[in-house]
Amino acid sequence: MQSASPGEMDPGTAERRSPIAPPFPRILPCGETALTIEFGDDIDSSIHRWVHALSRRLRNLGHPGILEINPTYRSLLVQYDPWELSLEALLLHIERALEAVPEPEGPRGDVLEIPVCYDEELGPDLEEVAARHGLTPESVAAIHAAPIYDVVMVGFTPGFPYLSGLDPRLVTPRKDIPRKRVPAGSVGIADRQTGIYSVDSPGGWQIIGRTPLRIFDLARSDPFLVKPGDRLRFRPITREAFENLAYS
Partner 1 sequence: MDSTALQVANALVGNGRADAAIEITWGGFRAEIGAGLLFAVTGAEAEVTLNGAAVPTWTTCKASSGDIVAVGYPVRGLRSYLAVSGGIHVPRVMGSLSTYLRGGFGGFHGRALAQGDVLEIGPPQHSSAVMRRSPHELVPPYSNRPMLRVVLGPQDDRITPEGVVTFLNETYTVTERSDRMGILLDGPRITHRYGPDIISDGTIPGVVQVPGNGRPMILAADCQTTGGYVKIATVIGADLPLVAQLSPGAQVRFTAVSLLEAREIRLRRELQLRRFCESVIHTA
Pairing mode of beta strands 231-236, 111-116: parallel
Task: Tell me the H-state helices in the chain.
Answer: 45-61, 87-100, 126-132, 137-145, 239-246
Residue 122's CB is within 10 A of a number of other CB atoms, namely 21
For residue 43, the minimal CB distance to partner 1 (Å) is: 6
Q: List own/partner pairs for 6-10 with CB under 8 A and 24 or more apart.
A: 6/95, 6/98, 6/99
- When the beta carbons of 5 and 86 are compared against partner 1, the nearer one is 86
Smallest distance, partner 1 to C-beta of residue 32, A: 4
Instruction: Output 71 or 209, the one with its CB closest to partner 1.
Output: 71
Query: Quick one: 1 or 218, whose CB is closer to partner 1?
Result: 218
CB nearer partner 1, residue 73 or residue 242: 73
Answer whether 237's CB lies under 8 Å from 117's CB: yes
Q: Provide the terminal-to-terminal Cα distance of the chain, rounded to the nearest Å.
A: 64
Shortest spacing between CB 163 and partner 1, in angstroms: 12
Which lies closer to partner 1 via its Cβ, residue 68 or residue 113? 68
- Report the residue number, 83 or 134, with the smaller CB distance to partner 1: 83
Are the C-beta atoms of 189 and 167 separated by less than 8 Å?
no
Q: How far is the CB of 1 from partner 1 (least distance, A)?
A: 29
User: Which residues of the shown chain bind partner 1 in the complex (CB under 8 A)?
Assistant: 28-34, 36, 38, 41-43, 70, 72-77, 79, 82-83, 87, 153, 155-158, 162, 193, 199, 201, 218, 223
Size of the chain, expressed as the number of residues it contains: 248
What is the closest distance, in whole angstroms, from the C-beta atom of residue 96 to partner 1 in the complex? 21
Contact 185, 197 (CB under 8 A): yes
CA distance 106 to 20: 13
Instruction: Give least dist CB 232 to partner 1, A.
Output: 18
